[in-house]
Amino acid sequence: MTTRAGFIALIGEPNAGKSTLTNRMVGAKVSIVTHKVQTTRTRIRGVALEGDAQLVFVDTPGLFRPRRRLDRAMVAAAWGGAADADIIVLLIEAHRGLTDGVQTVLDTLRDRVSPKQTVALAINKIDRVKAEALLALTAKLNDAYPFAQTFLISAERGHGVDDLKRWLAERLPEGPWLYPEDQIADLPMRMIAAEMTREKLTLRLHEELPYQLTVETESWQERKDGSVRIDQMIYVMRDGHKGIVLGNKGETIKAISTAARQEISEFLGRPVHLFLQVKVRENWMEEAERYSEMGLEFRDGNK
């Protein structure tokens, strides 16, 4: 039997549905999903199987106009994921269409993508628009860029996803699988656990605060009874933020810890003892060590 394997980069504007599609393709939650934009910070690889093909999905941070150092690192990670991929899938929200941001992505694709790379278009959230509008948008986007194929999907509901998955599997290069058959992600478990906790923080907290905190797994202790003790640190930028994360009488941090512990335990398939602490680090966005923990490149200046 001839096997196939390769990397598929999912790119697009923030909130286009890249994380939802990654999780749908993999069949398990490997990338955090929230209603807030720019929640994916690093390149998360989810591993899926389709027949004799192994598809490695690279869920990249959303492409937007960067302002801060962290923004620049996230956008660089997204384009780096695209450059390294065998196939690129551009996700666009059906109800938003060809925005200025999407046009910028298309212009950058022309400059950065090798002619040898296959680029497909996936118009997501198709349940939000009428069929006539979808047809017009499909024609408009294909006039703007020579996509190899166009798919109309709903990553959340699963519509059209199987067709996309089969098409991708058929076009990956022949070669041995890159990961063991039962592996669904290539991020270290410490990082996945930290991302799960950050998701709960993002869902619980409001306004800008989720963008001004990060979570790191400080220790991971395997216990004799098969359970695991995980200690995590939540870094925030101000004392006021610390109070918000803790909540009245510690209620907020307790609720976040419970939700994160349950999800991590379900993912690992064993009991988890999760301990969270909150620490103020005013300049954590300027510390190279924090970027290393997130799997991002610490970039100087405006690079």
**CATH code of the region 4-171:** 3.40.50.300
pLDDT computed for residue 39 by the predictor:
58
pLDDT tens profile 46-100: 899 999 999 999 877 666 666 677 767 766 776 677 778 899 999 999 999 999 9
Please state the pTM of the whole predicted model: 0.76
Spatial separation of the C-alpha atoms in residues 106 and 108, rounded to whole Å: 5
pLDDT tens profile 99-114: 998 998 898 888 888 7
Token pair for residue 63?
A: 């492409």
Positions in the chain short of pLDDT 50 = 37, 302-303
What lies within 8 Å, CB to CB, of 64 at 6+ separation is: 13, 14, 37, 38, 71, 75, 101
> C-alpha distances in angstroms, 290 versus 51, 129, 285, 286?
39, 41, 7, 8
pLDDT computed for residue 108 by the predictor:
86
pLDDT computed for residue 63 by the predictor:
66
pLDDT computed for residue 285 by the predictor:
77
- What are residue 59's phi and psi, to 5 degrees? -85, 110
Residues listed for the chain: 303
Spatial separation of the C-alpha atoms in residues 16 and 103, rounded to whole Å: 14
pLDDT computed for residue 303 by the predictor:
47
Domain 189-294 annotated CATH 3.30.300.20: yes
pLDDT computed for residue 205 by the predictor:
86
pLDDT computed for residue 192 by the predictor:
86
What lies within 8 Å, CB to CB, of 100 at 6+ separation is: none
pLDDT computed for residue 139 by the predictor:
96
> How many CB atoms lie under 10 A from the CB of residue 253?
19
DSSP labels for 258-282? HHHHHHHHHHHTS-EEEEEEEEE-T
Residue ranges matching CATH 3.40.50.300 in the chain: 4-171
Closest CA to 77 of 30, 118, 38, 25: 38
Q: For residue 12, is it left (φ>0), alpha (ψ between -120 and 50) or beta?
A: left
